């Protein structure tokens, strides 16, 4: 580190405005410059005759200016013609500066570099780099890197800073030489220098595909830093004290005896895994995955009972009031006959009822609390909180999950996180290395597959007629209104499931207003066309009691049809509903379509889901609809969704605070991921110094981001 100290640091001497631009690229410290790697390379190590230039080629050519002319039609530009012995090349400059015409005067010999494109008059370059050519002027001894940049930050400036960092920062290996030899990895120093300055003749295809050995080393190091951070967080959490919830078995036995159904084999397995964790004196941190309708709530009930049997309280938190209320109604019906008091806390709970609920939680007379974000607010105190269950955990931010965890009064409560969005194995290995994972991979018996059809909006009238007939024959149905405000069919997830960052809140609010307008107009249209049916409406802007009244009427069979926004995506359980129509399905993401479809098929009736789309369909939208039509396996759908969107959008990682991988691809680099996971385990046991050095290089102050 003495080398860096002597130089005074690369960024410390730069102007504040430049540091601001660098921060937009994620460069906030000198070490970040090292791992700001090129997007592609320009081969300026050789001159290409103009006649050999091909469309799309990044190339360097040299010749004499034979034309330099300022034109004003169709727009202002400087047109330059360059000739060598083999042919001519057009150069176009749309931003002309003073003295440029003089610098490119006819007869001047220049060297140009840039991307070749096929123009109307042959090969051309738009805004190429150029300089006067001198006799015997040398060519660079390495490929020229092209870096990701931002407005106002030139390639030359960025390249200069990176070059300074390479010269001034220590590039010693953070990993033992024996380990590198075993893994057959190149040294860090040479790998980094190769990627920043590839030698002439370097395999451009391997560099572009990131399969070059230098890329393999950098990708491994990045994966290793992620694994070390997550696994170390897991170890440190186990050092905290948590209540040992052994239970007596009395309540659990009574609960089993009262159930009108038997648990599936998968449910029994995960109940056993969770029960074993709860008996430990360190906090459980387990993720429970299960497809739509797999029975996660009953598993949460078993966990809560074990905590209550042990003399502690439990809390179950859900992101929406509809979902939280469904949990409350189910759990109350199951547990209150056993003498367990269940409190309900949500924004809609009136002040008097809220005060009463808060008092019972504080004095310990209430053993289970169910609710929404209201549960982690400041006034909520627990007498002895032993278990926190967070449903649809990816919808909560880091601070929110921590606030709930911190209500343990000195002890860290066990935490069970549940998700109905199955997580592909490689994603789980990578981003959930700090968690124990349980999977319910079996649906309860009696569930019939949902017939899914994709229908063009040109047949909307036909769909309404079929809907009318089905409802008159006793079928209950949903009509889900479109998400409006996003015009690009090729967009990635545009829904709440995608966990928008705070920067998108304004756009989200605008979309919600438009979605509400669509719901209101659709409800009005369908009510007019099917006047003999009772049609309800539910949307996110309604008061909680209004939503509850409509949902209860639908569940009781008093409504034939429920027109809704995507507020019904999770938590709605109406076994008699067997038909769902999703309008503008092409605007929704795969996970959301799967969740919405899961609102039907919960009873014994054969269920159907119609996906109405607006033509023309983009390629990605077409692939999404094809995938949802052909598969009902949530894990398979999630795997394909991950391919389409990438882990950042899939996880909502910007909200969770978890940094994304920049270089490694968890699907294509599975072997590296496995090696990184195994190496992290070994280093954490045998070489803490290497762990610290590696995390400092790659994550700096973010080395302990995995805190929940």
Q: Which residues lie across from 415 on neighbouring strands?
A: 285, 388
Q: Is the preceding omega at residue 74 within 30 degrees of 0, hence cis? A: yes
- The mean pLDDT value for 177-201 works out to 94
- The mean pLDDT value for 20-32 works out to 93
Measured distance CA(418)–CA(319) in Å, rounded: 12
Measured distance CA(587)–CA(597) in Å, rounded: 15
Superfamily of domain 451-631: P-loop containing nucleotide triphosphate hydrolases (3.40.50.300)
Give residue 490's pLDDT band: very low, low, confident or very high (50, 70, 90).
very low
CA trace torsion 500, 506, 508, 511 (10° rounding): -160
Q: Which phi-psi region, left, alpha or beta, contains residue 482 (left: φ > 0; alpha: ψ -120 to 50)? A: beta
Note the pLDDT of residue 236: 87
- The mean pLDDT value for 596-605 works out to 82
**Residue that wins the pLDDT comparison between 148 and 446:** 148
In this structure, the strands spanning 608-613 and 451-456 are: parallel
Note the pLDDT of residue 434: 81
Q: Which residues lie across from 313 on neighbouring strands?
A: 385
Measured distance CA(76)–CA(96) in Å, rounded: 9
Residue 398 has pLDDT above 60, yes or no: no
> What b-and-e string marks burial along 298-315, b requiring 16 or more CB atoms within 10 Å of the CB?
bbbbbbbbbbbbbebbbb
**Range with lowest mean pLDDT among 65-74, 290-299, 405-414:** 405-414
Note the pLDDT of residue 659: 60
Note the pLDDT of residue 500: 32
Token pair belonging to 6: 């002597």
Residue with token string 């569930």: 447
Query: What angle is formed at CA 381 by the lines to CA 380 and CA 385, rounded to 5 degrees?
Result: 120
Residues 694, 222: contact at Cβ < 8 Å?
Answer: no
- The mean pLDDT value for 128-137 works out to 91
Note the pLDDT of residue 648: 63
The pLDDT tens digits of the residues spanning 213-244 come to 999 999 999 999 999 999 998 888 888 889 99
Token pair belonging to 580: 């769902």
Neighbouring C-beta atoms of residue 380, cutoff 10 Å = 22
Neighbouring C-beta atoms of residue 120, cutoff 10 Å = 6
Beta carbons within 8 Å of 339's beta carbon, 6+ residues apart: none
Note the pLDDT of residue 514: 58
One-character DSSP codes across 536-549: EEE-TTS-HHHHHH
Give residue 393's pLDDT band: very low, low, confident or very high (50, 70, 90).
low
Name the CATH code of domain 47-138 (choices 2.40.50.1070, 3.40.50.300, 2.40.50.140, 3.90.280.10).
2.40.50.140
Asked whether this chain's domains 47-138 and 250-440 adopt the same fold, the reply is no
HSE (side-chain half, CA atoms, 13 Å) at 177: 1
How far is C-alpha 239 from the geometric centre of its chain's CA atoms?
30
Helices (H), 310-350: 321-335
Note the pLDDT of residue 258: 94
Tell me 174's DSSP state: S
Residue 401 has pLDDT above 50, yes or no: yes
Residues 496, 580: contact at Cβ < 8 Å?
Answer: no
| Domain limits, the chain | 2-40+154-209, 47-138, 250-440, 451-631
Beta carbons within 8 Å of 517's beta carbon, 6+ residues apart: 484
Counting residues of the chain whose pLDDT is more than 90, the rounded percentage is: 55
**Range with lowest mean pLDDT among 26-40, 79-93, 94-108, 647-661:** 647-661
Residue 313 has pLDDT above 80, yes or no: yes
Q: Which phi-psi region, left, alpha or beta, contains residue 657 (left: φ > 0; alpha: ψ -120 to 50)? A: left
Residue 702 has pLDDT above 70, yes or no: no
Neighbouring C-beta atoms of residue 478, cutoff 10 Å = 24
Give residue 404's pLDDT band: very low, low, confident or very high (50, 70, 90).
low
Residue 508 has pLDDT above 70, yes or no: no
Q: In the predicted model, what is the mean pLDDT of the chain?
A: 86
Note the pLDDT of residue 632: 86
Give residue 396's pLDDT band: very low, low, confident or very high (50, 70, 90).
low
Residue 309 has pLDDT above 60, yes or no: yes
Residues 45, 200: contact at Cβ < 8 Å?
Answer: yes
Beta carbons within 8 Å of 650's beta carbon, 6+ residues apart: 427, 493, 591, 638, 641, 642
Measured distance CA(294)–CA(113) in Å, rounded: 59
Residue 180 has pLDDT above 50, yes or no: yes
Give residue 608's pLDDT band: very low, low, confident or very high (50, 70, 90).
very high
Residue 484 has pLDDT above 70, yes or no: no
Note the pLDDT of residue 502: 33
One-character DSSP codes across 603-648: SSS--EEEEEEPSSPPHHHHHHHHHHHH---HHHHHHHHHHHHHHH
CA distances from 623 to 489, 498, 626 (A): 11, 18, 5
Measured distance CA(6)–CA(169) in Å, rounded: 10
- The mean pLDDT value for 72-79 works out to 90
Note the pLDDT of residue 361: 93
Tell me 598's DSSP state: T
Note the pLDDT of residue 52: 95
Tell me 95's DSSP state: S
Measured distance CA(405)–CA(708) in Å, rounded: 9
Neighbouring C-beta atoms of residue 177, cutoff 10 Å = 9
Note the pLDDT of residue 120: 83
Give residue 399's pLDDT band: very low, low, confident or very high (50, 70, 90).
low
Residue 652 has pLDDT above 70, yes or no: no
Nearest C-alpha neighbor of 500 from the set 627, 592, 612: 592
Residues 298, 267: contact at Cβ < 8 Å?
Answer: yes
Token pair belonging to 58: 């990044």
Residue 327 has pLDDT above 80, yes or no: yes
Nearest C-alpha neighbor of 392 from the set 362, 417, 355: 417
Note the pLDDT of residue 136: 85
Note the pLDDT of residue 483: 56
Note the pLDDT of residue 651: 64
Residues 523, 620: contact at Cβ < 8 Å?
Answer: no
Helix (H, G, I), strand (E, B) or coil at 556: coil
Give residue 179's pLDDT band: very low, low, confident or very high (50, 70, 90).
very high
In this structure, the strands spanning 414-419 and 385-391 are: parallel
The pLDDT tens digits of the residues spanning 667-695 come to 889 999 999 999 999 999 999 999 999 99
- The mean pLDDT value for 112-131 works out to 91
Counting residues of the chain whose pLDDT is more than 70, the rounded percentage is: 88
- The mean pLDDT value for 359-387 works out to 90
**Range with lowest mean pLDDT among 35-39, 432-436, 617-621:** 432-436
Return the CATH class of domain 250-440. Answer: alpha beta
């Amino acid at each position: 580190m003495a080398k860096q100290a002597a130089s005074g640091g690369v960024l410390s001497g730069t102007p504040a405005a430049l540091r601001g631009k660098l921060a937009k690229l994620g460069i906030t410290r000198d070490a970040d410059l090292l791992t700001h790697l090129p997007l592609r390379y320009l081969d300026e190590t050789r001159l290409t005759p103009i006649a050999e230039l091909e469309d799309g080629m990044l190339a360097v050519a040299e010749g004499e200016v034979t034309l330099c002319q300022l034109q004003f039609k169709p727009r202002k530009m400087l047109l330059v013609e360059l000739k060598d012995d083999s042919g001519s090349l057009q150069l176009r400059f749309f931003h002309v500066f003073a003295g440029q015409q003089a610098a490119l005067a006819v007869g001047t010999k220049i060297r140009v570099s840039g991307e070749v494109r096929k123009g109307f008059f042959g090969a051309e370059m738009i805004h190429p780099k150029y300089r006067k050519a001198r006799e015997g002027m040398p060519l660079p001894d390495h490929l020229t890197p092209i870096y990701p940049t931002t407005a106002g930050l030139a390639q030359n400036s960025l390249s200069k800073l990176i070059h300074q960092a390479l010269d001034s920062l220590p590039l010693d290996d953070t990993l033992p030489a024996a380990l590198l030899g075993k893994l057959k990895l190149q040294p860090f120093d040479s790998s980094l220098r190769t990627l920043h300055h590839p030698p002439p003749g370097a395999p451009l295809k391997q560099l572009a595909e990131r399969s070059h050995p230098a890329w393999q080393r950098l990708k491994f190091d990045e994966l290793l830093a992620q694994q070390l951070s997550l696994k170390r967080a897991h170890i440190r959490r186990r050092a905290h004290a948590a209540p040992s919830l052994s239970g007596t078995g009395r309540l659990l036995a009574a609960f089993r005896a009262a159930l009108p159904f038997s648990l599936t084999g998968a449910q029994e397995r995960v109940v056993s895994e969770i029960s074993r964790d709860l008996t430990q004196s360190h906090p459980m941190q387990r993720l429970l995955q299960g497809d739509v309708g797999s029975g996660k709530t009953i598993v949460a009930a078993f966990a809560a009972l074990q905590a209550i049997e042990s003399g502690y309280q439990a809390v179950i938190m859900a992101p929406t009031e509809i979902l939280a209320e469904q949990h409350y109604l189910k759990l109350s019906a199951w547990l209150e006959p056993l003498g367990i008091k269940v409190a309900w806390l949500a924004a809609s709970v009136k002040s008097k009822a809220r005060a009463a609920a808060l008092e019972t939680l504080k004095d310990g007379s209430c053993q289970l609390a169910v609710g929404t974000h209201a549960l982690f607010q400041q006034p909520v105190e627990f007498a002895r909180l032993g278990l926190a269950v967070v449903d649809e955990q990816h919808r909560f931010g880091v601070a929110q999950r921590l606030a709930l965890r911190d209500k343990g009064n000195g002890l860290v409560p066990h935490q069970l996180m549940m998700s109905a969005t199955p997580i592909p194995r490689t994603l789980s290995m990578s981003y959930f290395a700090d968690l124990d994972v349980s999977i319910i991979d079996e649906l309860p018996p009696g569930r019939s597959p949902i017939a899914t059809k994709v229908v063009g909006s040109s047949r909307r009238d036909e769909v309404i007629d079929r809907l009318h007939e089905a409802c008159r024959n006793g079928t209950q149905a949903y009509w889900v209104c479109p998400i409006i405000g996003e015009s690009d069919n090729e967009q990635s997830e545009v829904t709440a499931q995608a966990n928008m960052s705070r920067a998108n809140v304004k756009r989200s609010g605008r979309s919600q207003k438009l979605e509400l307008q669509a719901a209101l107009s659709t409800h009005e249209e369908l009510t007019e066309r099917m006047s003999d049916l009772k049609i309800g409406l539910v949307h996110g802007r309604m008061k909680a009691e209004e939503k509850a009244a409509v949902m209860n009427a639908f569940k009781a069979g008093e409504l034939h049809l429920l027109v809704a926004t995507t507020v019904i995506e999770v938590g709605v359980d109406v076994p008699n509903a067997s038909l769902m129509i999703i309008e503008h399905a092409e605007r929704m993401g795969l996970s959301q379509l799967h969740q919405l479809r899961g609102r039907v098929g919960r009873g014994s009736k054969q269920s159907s889901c119609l996906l109405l789309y607006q033509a023309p369909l983009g390629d990605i939208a077409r692939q999404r609809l094809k995938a949802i039509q052909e598969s009902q396996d949530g894990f398979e759908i999630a795997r394909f969704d991950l391919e389409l969107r990438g882990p950042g959008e899939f996880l909502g990682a910007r909200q969770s605070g978890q940094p994304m991988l920049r270089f490694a691809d968890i699907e294509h680099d599975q072997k590296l991921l496995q090696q990184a996971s195994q190496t992290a385990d070994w280093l954490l046991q045998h070489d803490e110094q290497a762990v610290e050095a590696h995390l400092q290089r790659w994550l700096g102050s973010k080395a302990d981001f995995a805190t929940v």
